[in-house]
Amino acid sequence: MTTFRFYKSSYSGSQGECVEVARNVPLVTAIRDSKDPAGPCLIVGSGAWASFMETLKAGDPAVL
């Protein structure tokens, strides 16, 4: 069984509307709602997650 170790960004505020990310399993990244840690999570390939993060960092207005 795979055990994801989720973490919340240090940039997250105190409003509770955050996502948590787990990158400890090779080749995949898991994302979940911090308000529902027992709920479902989205699992994507690590390359797709890296591309998504680079797009956000670049500030592409088509994505934002």
d(CA 22, CA 34): 12
Predicted local distance difference test score (pLDDT) of residue 58: 87
* Higher pLDDT among residues 57 and 14, named by residue: 57
Task: State the sign of the Cα–Cα–Cα–Cα dihedral 30, 32, 34, 40.
Answer: negative
Q: Select from 35, 41, 52 the least CA-distant residue to 5.
A: 41
Query: How does residue 2 score in pLDDT terms, banded at 50, 70 and 90?
Result: confident
Q: Given this model, what pLDDT does residue 11 score?
A: 72
Collapsed DSSP state (helix, strand, coil) of residue 17: coil
Residue-wise pLDDT for 25-64, tens only, equals 999 999 999 889 899 999 999 999 999 888 888 886 776 5
The DSSP 8-state label assigned to residue 40 in this structure reads: -
